[in-house]
Structure 1
Amino acid sequence: MSPLELHTRALELAAGVIGTVQPEQLVLPTPCSGWDLRRLLEHMVGQQRGFAAAARGAAPDPALFRDVPVHGDPAGAFRRSAEELTAAFTSASAGAAEPRLRLPEIRDGEPFRLRHAIGFQLLDTLVHTWDVAAALGVPAGTAAAVDRDEPLAAALLDAAGLVPAGPADRAPGRAFRERHEAADGAGPFDRALALLGRDPAWAPPAR
């Protein structure tokens, strides 16, 4: 199965979770420190638009990845940016030679093969979908859905293993925390979370 097909599966899973978000839930805390659900969804939409620009050959400009307001329609904003991203990845995949994308947030814009860039975006999509589900109090469903899909779970683990893990890469304020050991018997999704420094048992703080 191609990276693009797996990426499409990830987007479909994300759209299903985001489609359940109600406007009053946009203020909920998320596993992303300091971000409420609105900010997380705006980040996801911005990342999709940024990856789309990179697939079209844009220079590694952080402004292209900036958050995009979702207003009161997070599902619609996500769907539109997902369609833009899928179209850009599909077009980039159609050439005879595999293009290289430059991503400002990964190794200072070092060029990556298209398949690796799609893998990174797949990871971003799935992990942030779990973040959304965790904010809503239902993270187990997302993890289980990925674990049941062996090709998708393998792609997620591969991408998580490629994320830089040096001290500077996992410093405070960076996207991911230091790696830690997954619990005995952990499934693929929880192992990926461990590689990224996420806590599978995260729950919103008590009010």
Structure 2
Amino acid sequence: MNAAAVDPRPHYLRALDQLEKIVSQVTPDRLDLPTPCSEFDLRALLSHTVGGVHRIAYVGEGGLALDVPAAAGEIEDHAWAAALGRARDRAAAAWADDATLDRLAHVPWGVMPGRFALGGYVMEAVTHTWDIARVVDPGAALDDELALTALAIAEQVLPADERGGDVPFGRVQPAPAGADPTTRLAAWLGRTV
């Protein structure tokens, strides 16, 4: 069992801290640029990512994930970092009680103990940090240990042969020899790296 499955909260908060550092570099002139997450430009990816933090916060509060929109709604071009900060604070408060780890959580991919649901959002936050960094700071040094945790989750819950249809990830892509763990994670989740 990987470390995030035991208690994913520290990993998730670290992932959000890393994400905040990257999002703080977003400038309005880049919001219409494409991202490695091909269905989203940067503005749409930020909305999806902030919306995801609110969604897992709502799950930690006892709600059903699908009751919360997948996007954050209207955020002013200069306000993405503040919006993410508010979402992070909400998620931290929602998951502060240890009981959330074992309570059944209703997330888009099923019903499971909270610890496993939150682990999926560790994977999402780390991956979207990479996506966003490719647009705003391609040379950013991302947390290798955190990426290895997210990669272990991805390899466990998203086998290479179970892609397409209801699984919203493309086929595993090749990663260059010696690629850092976050790049390997992105490739595992179907990004061209």
TM-score bracket relative to the smaller structure = 0.7 to 0.9
- What do residues 32-91 of structure 1 show as CA deviations (whole Å, max 9, x unaligned)? 223211111110111111111112222342x41331122221111111111111111113
Q: Which runs of 5+ in 2 are unaligned?
A: none
Task: Assess if the C-alpha contact under 8 Å between 1:131 and 1:139 holds in 2.
Answer: no
Structure 1 residue 7 and structure 2 residue 38: aligned? no
Query: Structure 1 residues 140, 116: closer, same or farther in 2, change over 3 A?
Result: farther
- What do residues 78-109 of structure 1 show as CA deviations (whole Å, max 9, x unaligned)? 11111111111113xx22971121112x1xxx
Aligned to 1:159, which of 153, 171, 176?
153
Paired residue type of 2:182:
F
Task: Assess if the C-alpha contact under 8 Å between 2:53 and 2:91 holds in 1.
Answer: yes
Structure 1 residue 134 and structure 2 residue 134: aligned? yes
Query: Structure 1 residues 96, 176: closer, same or farther in 2, change over 3 A?
Result: closer
Query: Structure 1 residues 96, 59: closer, same or farther in 2, change over 3 A?
Result: closer
Could you tell me how far apart the structure 1 residues matched to 2:52 and 2:42 are? 15
Could you tell me how far apart the structure 2 residues matched to 1:190 and 1:159 are? 15
SS of the residue 1:145 aligns to? coil
Equivalent runs, 1:46-125 vs 2, <5 Å: 46-61=51-66, 63-68=67-72, 69-72=74-77, 73-91=79-97, 94-95=98-99, 98-104=102-108, 106=109, 110-125=110-125
Aligned length: 186
SS of the residue 1:90 aligns to? coil
Aligned to 2:35, which of 19, 30, 49?
30
Equivalent runs, 1:176-191 vs 2, <5 Å: 176-191=169-184
Paired residue type of 1:139:
P
Query: Structure 1 residues 60, 5: closer, same or farther in 2, change over 3 A?
Result: closer
Identity between Structure 1 and Structure 2 (%): 30
Aligned equivalent of 1:205: none
Task: Assess if the C-alpha contact under 8 Å between 2:35 and 2:41 holds in 1.
Answer: yes
Q: CA deviation at 1:165?
A: 4.2
Q: Using structure 1 for the length normalisation, give the TM-score.
A: 0.79
SS of the residue 2:169 aligns to? coil
SS of the residue 1:29 aligns to? coil
Paired residue type of 1:135:
V
- What do residues 129-152 of structure 1 show as CA deviations (whole Å, max 9, x unaligned)? 11111122x3342xx4222xx3x2
Could you tell me how far apart the structure 1 residues matched to 2:162 and 2:19 are? 29
Could you tell me how far apart the structure 1 residues matched to 2:13 and 2:139 are? 21
Could you tell me how far apart the structure 1 residues matched to 2:100 and 2:18 are? 30
Q: Using structure 2 for the length normalisation, give the TM-score.
A: 0.84
Task: Assess if the C-alpha contact under 8 Å between 2:19 and 2:125 holds in 1.
Answer: yes
SS of the residue 1:82 aligns to? helix
Could you tell me how far apart the structure 2 residues matched to 1:13 and 1:164 are? 23
Q: Which runs of 5+ in 1 are unaligned?
A: 201-207
Task: Assess if the C-alpha contact under 8 Å between 1:178 and 1:196 holds in 2.
Answer: yes
Q: CA deviation at 1:153?
A: 2.9
After superposition, the CA RMSD in angstroms is 2.3
- What do residues 114-140 of structure 1 show as CA deviations (whole Å, max 9, x unaligned)? 22222111111111111111122x334
